[in-house]
Amino acid sequence: MGSSFLIVIVLIFGAMYFLMIRPQRKQQAKHQEMLANLKTGDEVITVGGIYGDVVAVEPDRVRLEIAEDIEIEVARRAIAQIVQPEEVEDEAVVDDEELDEPEPVAEAERADAEARAETEDAEPEPAREEARR
């Protein structure tokens, strides 16, 4: 009875290792490699969601330009990922396409307002006054 319990515990630990611990360590190693290869000119995202261009890289800090002539310093480990240039271009195209399309709700509201205006204009003047009383 004792040996079967020990086998179950070992199997559970083995499953936990392969399902949780090992993938987390791979992810940490990949993140460390990305931070080691960080260079000036890379566009990055911080863990706080701030996009910026790397201006200077120090051993434990990174200086980012987040807008023209606005720089911030963040901890090197606060860099979440490097933004790939393809992603930025694709987002810009999607935003331009969305701006060109008129909103259907606004068109429907405009049509309703025009229909109400036509109905009000069609009523004779005395009928409108009686309706107000």
Phi first, then psi: what are they for 62, rounded to 5°?
Answer: -135, 135
Order of strands, edge to edge, in the sheet holding 43-46? 70-75, 61-67, 51-57, 43-46, 79-82
pLDDT, mean of residues 39-53: 94
pLDDT in tens, 99-123: 555 555 566 677 677 767 666 555 5
Which tens digit of pLDDT belongs to each residue from 52-78? 999 999 999 999 999 999 999 999 999
Instruction: List the chain domain ranges.
Output: 1-37, 38-84
Q: What is the pLDDT averaged over residues 115-132?
A: 59
CATH architecture of 38-84: Roll (2.30)
- pLDDT at position 41, please? 92
